């Protein structure tokens, strides 16, 4: 499906009928409003063989329409004024969302956690889109009942790579949007675990000056964002990483069963 160039600024959410997808749509409302763009809810209808049963195709459409209605109802119940577009698109969920990413400001996907075995053997929509989309991708973790999705740190990777300014810009923007402090993960390999304060200060100076209302705490993450987040005892609501870390989305989001160890968090993959 091709969209007109004027459609490029919209926030797209993949809707599959799950509570996790509805949670992602609700999370994305703030993104759409902050950009003054529509919230586009998309349901992917699987391609069927030409000689397949006609009633199967009809059921697919009915299910998709019901899923989109449920998501719209949940968003409207928030009482926040946002324009909502909905669409049924033929194709696999991953291919549909990757195509949508050509004309989106952000893609949002819900997840209750990514099963590691499924990730290795079959792949998952969230991980595949995070790795291959052409715009930022937010994989929104649907946590236990009653957990506040906007509580905790926004953890942001800080390094000296060419694309890190884009990561910092998105990270500070998310922190301000969600009234959250930033956990600045310095990923330089440095000394015996100490934080490279001078390098962190140099990289953060511009953004700290621009976002004076955002509190920032430096943290040593010498083994990378995924390793740091899997072991931290800090409550993190969102990790903001570069596309070079897209293959770590499954680990950052965490496993489906999080009764033991790292519960996981939402992740925003930024493309510079």
Could you give the CA distance from residue 133 to residue 32 in angstroms, rounded to a whole number? Answer: 18
Yes or no: say if 188 and 203 are a contact pair by the CB < 8 Å rule.
no
* Domain chopping of the chain, boundaries: 10-140, 153-270
Looking at per-residue pLDDT, the higher value among 235 and 188 belongs to 235
- Answer with the residue of higher pLDDT: 122 or 144: 144
Q: How many residues does the chain have?
A: 272
Number of neighbours of residue 166 by Cβ within 10 angstroms: 17
To the nearest whole percent, how much of the chain has pLDDT over 90? 60
Residue 229 near residue 240 (C-beta atoms within 8 A):
no
User: 0.85 exceeded by the pTM?
Assistant: yes
CB atoms within 10 A of CB 145: 6
Model confidence pLDDT, tens digit, residues 187-219: 875 554 555 677 788 889 999 999 999 999 988
Q: What is d(CA 144, CA 146) in angstroms, rounded to the nearest whole number?
A: 6
Residue 214 and residue 246 in contact, taking contact as beta carbons nearer than 8 Å: no
Neighbours of 72 (CB within 10 A): 17
Q: What is the DSSP letter of 46?
A: P
Q: What do you get for the CA distance between the two ends of the chain, in Å?
A: 25
6-15, 23-32, 229-238: least confident range: 6-15
Fold of 153-270: Rossmann fold (3.40.50)
Instruction: Write the pLDDT tens digit of every residue in 175-193.
Output: 999 999 999 998 875 554 5
Q: How many CB atoms lie within 10 A of CB 232?
A: 17
Distance from chain centroid for Cα 188: 24
Give the number of other CB atoms < 10 A from CB of residue 172.
23
10-140 and 153-270, same CATH topology: yes
In the block, which residue shows the tokens 């950009």? 35
The domain made up of 10-140 has a fold known as Rossmann fold (3.40.50)
Q: Which is higher by pLDDT, 68 or 187?
A: 68
Distance between CA atoms of residues 218 and 195, nearest Å: 7
Q: Count Cβ atoms within 10 A of the Cβ of residue 9 and give its class: 0-12 exposed, 13-18 middle, 19 or more buried.
A: middle
């Amino acid at each position: 499906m091709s969209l007109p160039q004027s459609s490029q600024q919209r926030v797209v959410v993949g809707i599959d009928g799950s509570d996790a997808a509805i949670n992602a749509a609700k999370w994305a409302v703030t993104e759409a409003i902050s950009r003054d763009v529509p919230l586009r809810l998309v349901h992917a209808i699987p391609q069927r063989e030409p000689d397949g049963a006609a009633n199967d195709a009809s059921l697919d459409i009915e299910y998709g329409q019901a899923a989109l209605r449920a998501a719209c109802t949940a968003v409207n119940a928030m009482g926040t004024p946002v324009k909502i577009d909905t669409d049924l698109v033929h194709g696999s969920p991953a291919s549909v969302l990757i195509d949508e990413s050509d004309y989106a400001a952000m893609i949002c996907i819900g997840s209750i956690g990514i099963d590691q075995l499924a990730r290795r053997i079959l792949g998952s929509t969230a991980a595949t889109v995070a790795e291959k989309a052409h715009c930022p991708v937010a994989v929104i973790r649907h946590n236990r009942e009653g957990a506040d999705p906007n509580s905790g740190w926004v953890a942001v990777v800080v390094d000296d790579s060419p694309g890190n300014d884009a990561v910092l810009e998105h990270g500070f923007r998310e922190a301000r949007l969600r009234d959250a402090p930033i956990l600045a993960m310095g990923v330089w390999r440095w000394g015996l675990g100490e934080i490279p304060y001078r390098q962190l200060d140099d990289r953060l100076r511009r953004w700290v000056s621009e976002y004076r209302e955002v509190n920032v705490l430096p943290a040593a993450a010498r083994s990378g964002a995924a390793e740091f987040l899997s072991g931290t005892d800090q409550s993190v609501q969102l990790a903001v990483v570069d596309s070079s870390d897209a293959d770590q989305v499954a680990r950052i989001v965490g496993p489906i069963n999080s009764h033991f160890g790292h519960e996981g968090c939402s992740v925003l993959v930024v493309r510079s």
